[in-house]
Structure 1
Amino acid sequence: MRRLLIAVGATTVLLAAAAVVYILVFANAATPVDRSAVTAAVVGSEPGDLGVYVYATTGFEAVDALAGARHEYPAETYLTISLGECGRVVRWNALDERWDEWEHCGPGGAITRSRNYHDWFGVPNLDEQVCAEPLPLVPTAPVTVVCTTGDITETFESTPMGEETLTIGGVAVATRWVRVVSELTGVTSGDFQADLWVLPGTVLVVKMVVVRHNTTETQIGTVGYEEAYTVTLTSLDPGR
């Protein structure tokens, strides 16, 4: 995201007024993901198994570059759980222009690496974040883990909040509630909070409430990014 915001800033310096209008009107797409294109090579039969899951979704992301732009998230988004080289890989597909991916290669499915993809004004950007030590998905006690993306540092504090029962598709589901907060420092600075309700013994997040605010220094000054969303599974079935 940092490189994308810097690129957007540099683009603003160079673009003529007509080109800016074109970008604002035509290039800032927010394309819902085609459900038929979201597949898993292996699909299990139990909740939390490999497969494709559907989230009921509300939320958005926004930037204030180029007079500002906003992507509204569709009513349904998709989560896939697949096998990677060292463990399970979880990917949330919000839009064709926006997705997150986590590698769960640490003990008990702890997160060791993540990727996030954004496309603003037709400028694609993929960032990869690596953690100094695995970040537990469901810690047994409060834990602090430092992760880096290039020269940006994100310090996570993850706290177990206890057990909570949610109703998913008319079924009562026991979950573990975890609160994660973070602070970003470097060229990009900001803060993040996520409340996660995780199906015990799996890497499946049943519900997630996320708020993020970032600012990045660019050639045109400070560019802000904001994201807020809530996703809740519609079913525990790992459908194809």
Structure 2
Amino acid sequence: MGRAKKLALWLGGGAAVFVAIVAVGVLVLFRDSATPLSGEDKAGLYVYQTTGFETASALGGGRHDYPAETYLSVVVEDCGTAYRWQALEERWDETLLCEDGRLDRTTSWHKWFGVEDLSHYICDASAHVVPIGDETTWAFQCENAGVTTVHWVYEVVGIETVEIGGEEVEATHIVATETDSGTTVGTGTHHRWVLTNPYLVVKERVDIANTTESPIGGVDYVEQYEIVLTSLAPSE
């Protein structure tokens, strides 16, 4: 969802690229790194068993492999509940759900080659992530400041059993398909197994590929991962 956008814009800076790299203390030109969260930071967080990675094609290419454990924080805010999944110090996604179940917005944060990219997507008033009543399909869109629009189509597959920490849980399997248009063009498929009341993702499998244009050509971004909750209770 536009994750390569800021990196692509930054590449248009010519000589400023070198200055920016020196300023953030990168010792080897265009070297990238990824930092897992330390175990001492996970108290109060939900823990997911994780496999996966993300890649960006700019500057010779970079790859972040995700650690064996990633984390979800659930924070009640004035307008609803914020769910933040954090894979790395350099990578997180946040979803804000209103009290009535409406999807208000999504936010993603990435850091590539020392460049930070925070993207906010404001969603339609009708946007939601779990079925209302007997509906099995629905659609909506979210927009990032008129730059990139993400068109979402949701489809309920059915109720399936997922094993969480040795316990069998009945979860709703939903397939969410995204199509990106605007500055970033691409697609993504998200298989989610969720508890609906209260909302909690217990398993997810994601496959995303998009391209963002830049002065040096298209910047390709790929992300693939699977997460499975290890316990229905947060860590102590």
Note if contact 2:51-2:225 (Cα within 8 Å) is conserved in structure 1: yes
Structure 1 residues 67 and 13: alpha-carbon distance in aligned structure 2, compared to 1, 3 A threshold? farther
Determine whether 1:205 maps to 2:198.
no
Q: Work out the number of aligned pairs and report it.
A: 225
Deviation at 1:137, TM superposition (A): 1.9
In the superposition, relative to structure 1, how do residues 121 and 23 fare at CA in structure 2: closer, same or farther (>3 Å)?
farther
1:50-65 residue pairs with structure 2 within 5 A? 51-65=44-58
TM-fit CA distance, 1:106: 5.7
Match of 2:119 in 1: 127
Match of 2:11 among 9, 12, 18: 9
Aligned counterparts of 1:142 and 1:97: Cα–Cα separation in 2: 34
Contact kept in structure 2, 1:8 and 1:65, CA below 8 Å:
no
Matches within 5 A, 1:9-48: 9-11=11-13, 14-15=16-17, 22-25=28-31, 28-39=32-43
Secondary structure of 1:24 counterpart: coil
**What is the RMSD computed on CA atoms of the aligned residues?**
2.0
Q: Provide the identity percentage.
A: 37
Give the equivalent residue in structure 1 for 2:128.
Answer: 136
Q: Partner amino acid for 1:215? A: T
- How is 1:21-170 mapped onto 2 (pairs within 5 angstroms)? 22-25=28-31, 28-39=32-43, 51-105=44-98, 107=100, 109-139=101-131, 140-150=135-145, 151-170=147-166
Contact 2:158 2:174 in 1 (8 A): yes
Question: 1:58/1:13 Cα in 2 relative to 1: closer, same or farther (>3 Å)?
Answer: farther
Task: Please tell me the residue identity of whatever aligns with 1:136.
Answer: H
- 2:143 is aligned with what amino acid? T
Change (3 A) 1:60 1:217: same
Deviation readout 1:120-166 (Å, 9 max, x if unpaired): 00001100000122432222321110110122111000011110001
Which stretches of structure 1, 4 residues or more, deviate above 3 A after TM superposition? 11-16, 18-21
Task: Give the aligned partner of residue 220 of structure 1.
Answer: 216
Normalised TM-score (structure 1): 0.87
Unmatched tracts of structure 1, length 5 or more: 40-50
Distance 1:11 1:234, change over 3 A: farther
- In 1, Cα distance between the equivalents of 2:141 and 2:235? 35
* Alpha-carbon separation, structure 1, partners of 2:45 and 2:141: 30
Give the letter for the 2:154 counterpart: S
Q: TM-score, normalised by structure 2?
A: 0.89
Q: Is the Cα–Cα contact under 8 Å of residues 7 and 117 in structure 2 kept in the other structure?
A: no
- Give 1:178's match in structure 2, choosing from 167, 174, 185: 174
Q: Which runs of 5+ in 2 are unaligned?
A: none
Q: Secondary structure at the match of 1:79?
A: strand
Distance in 2 (CA, whole Å) between partners of 1:105 and 1:173 is 25
Secondary structure at the aligned position of 2:213 is classed as: strand
In 1: Cα distance, 2:68 partner to 2:155 partner? 29
